[in-house]
Structure 1
């Protein structure tokens, strides 16, 4: 199954590791360090030109999505409910 992250970006649901609200960057030192590390490794992808509302972590990439974390979690749960 696939999850639409916004724009023209779709990922396999099996690649999904975590979905976070964008506010976690400011509130969690560990998440900020993780994102900084991913940025240095060039594993960050901005989706679209809208302001990011969520961070989606996959096995290989960290995506900044313009779709809210709640909406993305609902989309992801639809697939886990079907399994």
Structure 2
């Protein structure tokens, strides 16, 4: 399942390492250094250039770590994730654990 991070950006939920609130976590010098290093090394991807990021999501894409700066809050991203999980569980229950595949 894929999580929409804003704009045209989606990421597979299994590839997500962490979702962090930008305002709350950038108080820490370690977090600021992490983001600064990510920018210097080209790991940062800003989803919408004209919006201030509310969160950052660390994920893997093609075996490389990427830090997505998202215009969406962590609570919005988490709600979307929970909705996907609920849909996945219901689908699994309806299909006898096959996630939409037909039993042969």
- TM-score w.r.t. length of structure 1: 0.87
How many residues align? The count is: 82
Give the distance between the partners of 2:30 and 2:39, measured in 1 at CA.
Answer: 14
If asked which structure has higher relative contact order (CA below 8 Å, sep 6+), I would say: 1
Backbone CA RMSD of aligned residues: 1.5
- Which of structures 1 and 2 has the bigger CA Rg? 2
CA contact (8 A) 1:18 1:56 kept: yes
Q: How does 1:1-83 map to 2 (within 5 A)?
A: 1-23=1-23, 24-25=25-26, 27-48=27-48, 49-59=50-60, 60-80=65-85, 82=88
5+ residue gaps, structure 1, are none
5+ residue gaps, structure 2, are 90-104
Runs of 4+ in 1 over 6 A off after TM superposition: none
- TM-score w.r.t. length of structure 2: 0.71
